[in-house]
Amino acid sequence: MSNEPKFQARSAAFADLPPPDPAAQAQSERLQQLIAGEMAANGGRLSFARFMDLALYAPGLGYYSGGSTKLGAEGDFITAPEWSPLFARCLARQVTQVLAALGSGDVLEAGAGSGVLAVDLLEALASADCLPNRYFILERSGELRARQQALFKKRLHHLQGRIVWLEQLPEPGFRGVILANELLDALPVHCFTLTEEGAVERCVMRENEQWQWCAAPLGDAALAGRIAALRHDGSLAAGYTSEANFAAEAWIRSMADRLGAGMILLIDYGFPRREYYHPERTGGTLMCHYRHRAHADPLVLVGLQDITAHVDFTAMAEAGHAAGLEVAGYTMQASFLLAAGILELMNNVEDERVRLQWAQQIKKLTLPHEMGELFKVLALTRNIDGPFLGFALRDLRGRL
């Protein structure tokens, strides 16, 4: 085996970064053998969705299931709750409104990452005297679950009794708020390309010791149906490449089945369908993160980098609506945070250093060229009446 790090052969974007350490490389090798084994048993190729699922979540080896530091300055990317506790404090105000309207209830956070949102949110809810009965966490990665548990032990020991890590979805009849920040973008997507002869699915194969894209006939009826709907007005030309996130739609359906009363609150980056599948967005939205570099090649650094796709919020709203939920709010992250009072949080801060830090964090969370406009907030509700606090400034449901 060559000593040259393999990722340098594929992408100049990493030329100035040190290669992954030997342990990380060895883990990636094991993961790639596992993927290659499944691929061989599957006729020599895998759908990209299956490749992404294994690359991110193969037990003990995938990006989220392995031991690397993923989130935060030491990791590969930084999410809103990692940037600032003000994010959780604003969410807490929306959660408080829902729990108060229901009389009481629970919170369920799906995909809790490092656990920092859960800790900051519970602290904010405690100071508003609005703690949920229980705070459930649904986390696919055993490694991240262990990190979350360690963080709780350190920062919220007194509330530990309220926190429950779920092994499976909650029972139907859940009352309260189901919350997910940057979960949907981390679910595996199907990829496709349009050709003169019709659409093909973009699959993955292995050739000359490297992962390669390959085309396959559309095997999946849902994908064929989605592409046919997207093509109906003839605006998408041959060569057009994009993705569809059926796993996210299924996730919303399964949560809708459990929600008896309350809100599913989703925050992620993405667009309504018209923008997502804009004829000029010819290459789709796949994006990878490795040591704070963003690039678009998911077939390198297998298991060592995050792989994401933006969210089609129209599809998410449709999935919720079809499952009997009300689309109660859709807006940009900036509008949501401003409506939830992010600026007022500065009012009582006297320490000049903290004020400065918070001002920087507010800019990061709300400015249009930072996270303010690309990130959206979607509220799906059942058996609870709005209007809801976070959506009071700007209602963008008409764009979905």
Ligand X SMILES: C[S@@+](CC[C@H](N)C(=O)[O-])C[C@H]1O[C@@H](n2cnc3c(N)ncnc32)[C@H](O)[C@@H]1O
Q: Which long-range contacts (CB under 8 A, 24 or more apart) does 151-155 make?
A: 151/114, 151/115, 151/116, 151/119, 152/115, 152/118, 152/119, 155/119
- The answer for residues whose C-beta is within 8 angstroms of residue 377's C-beta and 6 or more apart is 265, 266, 267, 329, 330, 331, 332, 333, 336, 390, 391
Q: Please state the closest distance from residue 78 (CB atom) to ligand X, in A.
A: 8
Which residue number, 364 or 397, has a Cβ lying nearer to ligand X? 364
Residue 329 pairs in a beta bridge with 379
- Which of 194, 267 has the CB closer to ligand X? 267
Find out whether the peptide bond into 172 is cis, omega within 30 degrees of 0.
Answer: no
Q: Which residues, including other chains, have CB under 8 Å from residue 289's CB and lie 6 or more apart? A: 76, 77, 305, 306, 308
Closer to ligand X by CB, 3 or 168: give it. 168
Type and span of the H or E element at 138: strand 135-138
Helices 85-102 and 116-127: crossing angle in degrees, nearest 10, is 60
Structure tokens belonging to residue 204: 């993955």
Max CA separation in the chain (angstroms): 66
In whole angstroms, how close is the CB of 89 to ligand X at the nearest point?
15
Task: Write phi, then psi, for 117 (nearest 5 degrees).
Answer: -65, -45
| CA 151 distance to own-chain centroid | 21
Positions that interact with ligand X (CB under 6 A): 64, 71, 79, 81-82, 110-113, 117, 138-141, 144, 181-183, 186-187
Return the sign of the alpha-carbon dihedral for residues 63, 68, 73, 76. negative
Q: Which is nearer to ligand X, 168 or 208 (CB)?
A: 168
- Rounded to the nearest whole angstrom, what is the least distance from the CB of residue 175 to ligand X in the complex? 20
* Residue placing its CB nearer to ligand X in the complex, 254 or 383: 254
Nearer to ligand X among residue 137 and residue 339 (C-beta) = 137
CA 312 vs. chain centroid, Å, equals: 12
Minimum gap (Å) between residue 148 Cβ and ligand X: 9
Q: In angstroms, what is the minimal distance from the CB of 116 to ligand X?
A: 7
DSSP 370: I
Which residue number, 138 or 400, has a Cβ lying nearer to ligand X? 138
Q: How far is the CB of 186 from ligand X (least distance, A)?
A: 4
Closest distance to ligand X from the beta carbon of 57 (Å): 7
Q: Which is nearer to ligand X, 141 or 305 (CB)?
A: 141
Shortest distance in whole angstroms from residue 51 CB to ligand X: 15
